[in-house]
Amino acid sequence: MTVREILKMGDPRLLRVAEPVTEFDTPAMKELIADMFDTMHAANGAGLAAPQIGVNLQLVIFGFKQNARYPDAPQVPETVLINPILTPLSDEMEEGFEGCLSVPGLRGSVPRYVKLRYEGVDEHNQPIKRDVDGFHARVVQHEVDHLLGKLYPMHIKDFSKFGFTEVMFPDLDPNDDD
Ligand code: NI
Protein backbone atom coordinates (compact mmCIF):
# COMPACT_ATOMS: atom_id res chain seq x y z
CA MET A 1 0.00 0.00 0.00
CA THR A 2 1.42 3.31 -1.06
CA VAL A 3 -0.27 6.53 -0.17
CA ARG A 4 1.14 9.21 -2.46
CA GLU A 5 1.50 12.88 -1.69
CA ILE A 6 -1.44 14.94 -2.97
CA LEU A 7 -0.39 18.18 -4.65
CA LYS A 8 -2.04 21.33 -3.34
CA MET A 9 -3.51 24.29 -5.20
CA GLY A 10 -0.73 26.61 -6.27
CA ASP A 11 1.41 23.77 -7.58
CA PRO A 12 1.76 24.38 -11.33
CA ARG A 13 1.49 20.64 -12.01
CA LEU A 14 -2.22 20.95 -11.21
CA LEU A 15 -2.65 23.41 -14.07
CA ARG A 16 -1.48 21.18 -16.91
CA VAL A 17 -3.60 19.50 -19.57
CA ALA A 18 -3.13 15.75 -19.08
CA GLU A 19 -1.88 13.36 -21.75
CA PRO A 20 -3.95 10.40 -22.99
CA VAL A 21 -3.19 6.98 -21.54
CA THR A 22 -1.77 4.63 -24.19
CA GLU A 23 -0.67 1.65 -22.05
CA PHE A 24 -2.99 -0.70 -20.22
CA ASP A 25 -2.48 -3.61 -17.82
CA THR A 26 1.22 -2.88 -17.48
CA PRO A 27 2.86 -3.26 -14.06
CA ALA A 28 3.38 0.51 -13.93
CA MET A 29 -0.29 1.26 -14.66
CA LYS A 30 -1.49 -1.35 -12.15
CA GLU A 31 0.74 0.15 -9.48
CA LEU A 32 -0.38 3.68 -10.31
CA ILE A 33 -4.08 2.79 -10.06
CA ALA A 34 -3.58 0.83 -6.82
CA ASP A 35 -1.69 3.76 -5.33
CA MET A 36 -4.44 6.14 -6.39
CA PHE A 37 -7.06 4.04 -4.57
CA ASP A 38 -4.83 3.82 -1.50
CA THR A 39 -4.34 7.58 -1.58
CA MET A 40 -8.03 8.35 -2.12
CA HIS A 41 -9.16 5.98 0.63
CA ALA A 42 -6.55 7.27 3.09
CA ALA A 43 -7.90 10.79 2.56
CA ASN A 44 -11.59 9.73 2.54
CA GLY A 45 -11.87 11.28 -0.90
CA ALA A 46 -14.81 10.83 -3.26
CA GLY A 47 -12.45 10.87 -6.22
CA LEU A 48 -8.88 11.45 -7.29
CA ALA A 49 -7.25 12.41 -10.57
CA ALA A 50 -3.75 11.28 -11.55
CA PRO A 51 -2.49 14.89 -11.90
CA GLN A 52 -3.22 15.35 -8.19
CA ILE A 53 -0.35 12.98 -7.43
CA GLY A 54 1.82 14.56 -10.10
CA VAL A 55 1.13 12.04 -12.88
CA ASN A 56 0.02 13.93 -15.97
CA LEU A 57 -2.27 11.28 -17.45
CA GLN A 58 -5.98 11.27 -18.32
CA LEU A 59 -6.87 8.93 -15.49
CA VAL A 60 -9.38 9.49 -12.71
CA ILE A 61 -10.90 7.27 -10.06
CA PHE A 62 -14.02 7.91 -8.01
CA GLY A 63 -16.76 6.17 -6.11
CA PHE A 64 -17.87 5.18 -2.62
CA LYS A 65 -20.71 3.55 -0.74
CA GLN A 66 -20.68 6.00 2.13
CA ASN A 67 -18.38 8.99 2.24
CA ALA A 68 -17.44 10.78 5.45
CA ARG A 69 -16.64 13.96 3.57
CA TYR A 70 -20.07 13.95 1.84
CA PRO A 71 -22.36 12.11 4.30
CA ASP A 72 -25.56 13.01 2.45
CA ALA A 73 -24.35 11.95 -0.99
CA PRO A 74 -25.88 8.91 -2.70
CA GLN A 75 -23.44 6.11 -3.43
CA VAL A 76 -21.42 6.21 -6.62
CA PRO A 77 -19.95 3.01 -8.12
CA GLU A 78 -16.19 2.62 -7.73
CA THR A 79 -14.84 3.50 -11.16
CA VAL A 80 -11.57 3.83 -13.02
CA LEU A 81 -12.13 6.19 -15.93
CA ILE A 82 -9.41 6.74 -18.52
CA ASN A 83 -9.31 9.12 -21.49
CA PRO A 84 -12.77 10.45 -20.65
CA ILE A 85 -15.16 12.45 -22.79
CA LEU A 86 -18.10 14.23 -21.14
CA THR A 87 -21.25 15.21 -22.98
CA PRO A 88 -23.94 17.22 -21.16
CA LEU A 89 -27.39 15.73 -21.76
CA SER A 90 -29.23 18.99 -21.08
CA ASP A 91 -28.37 22.64 -20.53
CA GLU A 92 -29.60 22.45 -16.95
CA MET A 93 -27.01 23.30 -14.31
CA GLU A 94 -27.21 23.37 -10.53
CA GLU A 95 -25.09 24.80 -7.74
CA GLY A 96 -23.61 22.46 -5.15
CA PHE A 97 -20.81 22.49 -2.60
CA GLU A 98 -17.57 20.76 -3.45
CA GLY A 99 -14.29 20.16 -1.74
CA CYS A 100 -11.05 18.92 -3.18
CA LEU A 101 -8.13 17.02 -1.68
CA SER A 102 -5.87 19.56 -3.42
CA VAL A 103 -7.71 22.43 -1.72
CA PRO A 104 -7.75 21.14 1.87
CA GLY A 105 -10.07 22.56 4.49
CA LEU A 106 -12.27 24.53 2.11
CA ARG A 107 -15.61 24.14 0.38
CA GLY A 108 -17.20 26.17 -2.37
CA SER A 109 -20.44 26.17 -4.32
CA VAL A 110 -20.00 25.69 -8.06
CA PRO A 111 -22.42 25.15 -10.95
CA ARG A 112 -22.28 21.80 -12.75
CA TYR A 113 -24.35 20.11 -15.43
CA VAL A 114 -27.12 18.08 -13.83
CA LYS A 115 -27.12 15.29 -16.43
CA LEU A 116 -24.32 14.04 -18.59
CA ARG A 117 -22.89 11.09 -20.44
CA TYR A 118 -19.37 9.99 -19.74
CA GLU A 119 -17.40 7.78 -22.03
CA GLY A 120 -13.91 6.41 -21.88
CA VAL A 121 -12.22 3.16 -20.97
CA ASP A 122 -11.44 1.33 -17.76
CA GLU A 123 -8.07 0.03 -16.57
CA HIS A 124 -8.28 -2.91 -19.02
CA ASN A 125 -9.08 -0.63 -21.98
CA GLN A 126 -12.69 -1.80 -21.94
CA PRO A 127 -15.23 0.84 -22.94
CA ILE A 128 -17.28 2.67 -20.34
CA LYS A 129 -20.39 4.63 -21.27
CA ARG A 130 -22.77 5.88 -18.59
CA ASP A 131 -25.57 8.43 -18.39
CA VAL A 132 -25.63 9.89 -14.90
CA ASP A 133 -27.04 12.78 -12.94
CA GLY A 134 -26.84 14.54 -9.60
CA PHE A 135 -23.86 13.93 -7.33
CA HIS A 136 -22.43 11.23 -9.61
CA ALA A 137 -22.41 13.73 -12.50
CA ARG A 138 -20.87 16.36 -10.23
CA VAL A 139 -18.05 14.09 -9.10
CA VAL A 140 -17.19 13.17 -12.68
CA GLN A 141 -17.14 16.81 -13.79
CA HIS A 142 -14.92 17.72 -10.83
CA GLU A 143 -12.44 14.90 -11.49
CA VAL A 144 -12.29 15.39 -15.25
CA ASP A 145 -11.64 19.09 -14.65
CA HIS A 146 -8.35 18.04 -13.04
CA LEU A 147 -7.33 16.63 -16.44
CA LEU A 148 -7.86 20.06 -17.97
CA GLY A 149 -5.83 21.87 -15.35
CA LYS A 150 -8.93 23.23 -13.62
CA LEU A 151 -9.72 23.32 -9.91
CA TYR A 152 -13.22 23.91 -8.58
CA PRO A 153 -12.52 27.42 -7.18
CA MET A 154 -12.07 28.57 -10.79
CA HIS A 155 -15.82 27.94 -11.29
CA ILE A 156 -17.10 29.77 -8.21
CA LYS A 157 -19.53 32.54 -9.10
CA ASP A 158 -20.66 33.58 -5.63
CA PHE A 159 -17.66 33.91 -3.32
CA SER A 160 -19.97 34.27 -0.31
CA LYS A 161 -20.36 30.49 -0.74
CA PHE A 162 -16.66 29.71 -0.44
CA GLY A 163 -15.10 29.14 2.95
CA PHE A 164 -13.64 26.85 5.52
CA THR A 165 -15.37 23.50 5.94
CA GLU A 166 -15.15 23.66 9.73
CA VAL A 167 -17.04 26.97 9.68
CA MET A 168 -19.63 26.23 6.98
CA PHE A 169 -20.16 22.54 7.79
CA PRO A 170 -19.35 22.25 11.50
CA ASP A 171 -20.96 18.80 11.74
CA LEU A 172 -18.35 17.27 9.45
CA ASP A 173 -15.30 15.77 11.08
CA PRO A 174 -12.46 18.17 10.18
CA ASN A 175 -10.12 15.18 9.94
CA ASP A 176 -12.05 14.11 6.88
CA ASP A 177 -11.25 17.29 5.03
CA ASP A 178 -7.53 17.60 5.02
NI1 NI B 1 -10.40 17.68 -6.73
Lowest mean pLDDT among 16-20, 24-28, 61-65: 61-65
pLDDT reading at 178 higher than 50: no
142 is in an annotated binding site: yes
Burial 32-42 (b: 16+ CB within 10 A, else e): bbebbbebbee
Percent of residues, the chain, with pLDDT higher than 70:
97
155 is in an annotated binding site: no
Sequence letter at residue 31 = E
Q: Which domains does the chain have, with CATH numbers?
A: 12-168 (3.90.45.10)
**Separation of CA 141 and ligand 1 centre (Å):** 10
The pLDDT value recorded for residue 72 is 86
Average pLDDT over the chain, rounded to whole?
95
Any catalytic annotation for residue 143? yes
The pLDDT value recorded for residue 174 is 58
112-153 confidence digits (pLDDT tens): 999 999 999 999 999 999 999 999 999 999 999 999 999 999
pLDDT category at 96 given cuts 50, 70, 90 is very high
Q: Cα-atom radius of gyration of the chain, to the nearest Å?
A: 15
pLDDT category at 172 given cuts 50, 70, 90 is confident
Active-site option among 23, 95, 119, 143: 143
19-58 confidence digits (pLDDT tens): 999 999 999 999 999 999 999 999 999 999 999 999 999 9
CA atoms lying within 13 Å on the CB side of residue 131: 3
